[in-house]
Amino acid sequence: MLQINEFKENKEALIAGLKVKNFPNPEEVVEKVLTLDAERRATQQANDDVSAESNSISKQIGMLMREGKKEEAEQVKAKTAVLKEESKKLQEKLSSVEEELQQLLYTIPNIPHPSVPEGKSDEDNEVIREFGEKPVLSDDKKPHWDLIKEYDIIDFELGNKLTGAGFPVYKGKGARLQRGLINFFLDEAEKAGYSEVLPPIVVNEASGIATGQLPDKEGQMYQLTGHDYYLIPTAEVPITNMYRDTIINEKDLPIKNAGFTPCFRREAGSWGAHVRGLNRLHQFDKVEIVQIAKPEDSMAALDGMVEHVERLLKKLGLPVRVLRLCGGDLSFTSHITYDMEVYSAGQDQWLEVSSVSNFLTYQANRLKLRYRPEGEKKTQLLHTLNGSALALPRIVATILENNQTADGINIPEVLVPYVGFDKITK
């Protein structure tokens, strides 16, 4: 969530930013935050004063007791009743004001970067780069949902039997391709300086709150019964939360981690032709990259992450376009996001395969993730960033569709050592 300081110091910029994000009534909400904060401070101060007084009385009683002056002690004790009453009231008020402020802050999204274009939906996203050749396929080209049946490499019906819709079974060369891609992505991340982690795919409530999935987006996650545990929608959640409640040494920054996990999304309500086959699943595999950077370095770190993802896509030989998301399409917690889409020739569609974002201190504030700048007394919040590098299903779909030939599907050269074959045939 945003820091109170941002409201005090950059009120106008903040209101303008909220407008870009299509947040309703920003002026009103910002004023409300400032009012609540002033109330919080006043109440806190009043309560502290009462505490100071009762502390001093208690010490006095202690001293009198030690000296054996019981009657005097009793007399002083009588004074505390009023203070107790007062303190109780103030504390109740304080926690209700704090709660209200907290809840309000939870509803306020992150502020977009100045370069983020205005806009309502994904149609207003800005294409900033395009590269890679679209393949020229014969007229009998097929979408991947036909190809996977033809070559028997991914089985949706079998997944239906085991679980339900959106949980496919990868078989034979399909499974092998999946495993090869994961290793390829992890190796490339390692080469780019990301240190590998393999985190749990089940997380608790505190983790969900810190990265912004909770409160209110629990509908998107699968929850375990009997626990406040959730299946992760992305490795961002466990990896970023590794640094919850920590103060990082400046010399250890930036922190760069990469991790492979399965991801689980309920995707309630989405249906239709554009989500056929591998385009949208309830369980899918993804390699995620995460960085924790000093504020002054985070935008450069973001560029580095985008470059890394672009390099992967180039190596796979896929046609790519890079989008800068508009205010309306930007996620709740994001300051700026670049989406990478690949052109999937069999279905003639651009598919999002990566989303790279800088969250500034928005997550770090909930995470209490800080460092102490050289020579400073106070700690400072860090910036968190993450990106998919990459999400597998749509990459698989595109590889299959774009490399289909009459006698099989060619595997991109860079993957051949990883999968152990260069063609998928019948």
Partner RNA sequence: AGAGAGGUGGCCGAGCGGUUUAAGGCGCACGCCUGGAAAGCGUGUUGGGUUCACGCCCUCGAGGGUUCGAAUCCCUUCCUCUCUGCCA
Residue 242 makes contact with RNA by CB under 7 A: no
Q: Is 217 in the site for RNA (CB under 7 A)?
A: no
Check whether the bond before 390 is cis (ω within 30° of 0): yes
At residue 95, what is the residue type? S
Which positions from 21 to 50 touch RNA by CB under 7 A, shown as an x/- string?
--------------------x--xx-xxx-
Bridge partner list, 324: 126, 338
Q: How far is the CB of 223 from RNA (least distance, A)?
A: 16
69 binds RNA (CB under 7 A): no
CA distance linking residue 389 with residue 234, whole number of Å: 12
Q: How far is the CB of 72 from RNA (least distance, A)?
A: 12
Binding status of residue 370 toward RNA by CB under 7 A: yes
Phi, psi of 103 (to 5 degrees): -60, -40
Tell me which stretch binds RNA (CB under 7 A): 12-20, 62-70, 191-199, 274-282.
Answer: 62-70
DSSP 347: T
List 61, 290, 326, 382, residue binding RNA (CB under 7 A):
61
Q: In the structure encoding, which two tokens stand for residue 378, read together?
A: 């106070």
By beta-carbon proximity to RNA, the closer residue of 65 and 224 is: 65
**In the complex, least distance from residue 29 CB atom to RNA, rounded to whole angstroms:** 19
User: Does 286 engage in binding with RNA (CB under 7 A)?
Assistant: no
Q: Are 268 and 302 spatial neighbours (Cβ–Cβ below 8 Å)?
A: no
Return the exposure string of 387-425: e unless at least 16 CB atoms fall within 10 Å of the residue's CB, then b. bbbbbbbbbbbbbbbbbbeeeebbbbeebeebbeeeebe
Q: In whole angstroms, what is the distance from residue 147 CA to residue 213 CA?
A: 35
Q: Please choose, out of 56-64, 158-166, 193-201, 348-356, the segment that lies near RNA by the rule CB under 7 A.
A: 56-64
b or e along 325-363 (b: 16 or more beta carbons within 10 Å of the residue's beta carbon)? bbbbbbebbbbbbbbbbbbbbbbebbbebbbbbbbbbbb
The yes or no reply on residue 420 touching RNA (CB under 7 A) is no
Q: Which is nearer to RNA, 129 or 227 (CB)?
A: 227
> Based on CB atoms, which residue is closest to RNA, 301 or 381?
381
Under the binding rule (CB under 7 A), the answer on residue 57 touching RNA is: yes
Binding residues vs RNA (CB under 7 A): 4, 41, 44-45, 47-49, 51-52, 54-59, 61-62, 65-66, 77, 80, 84, 247, 370, 372, 378-379
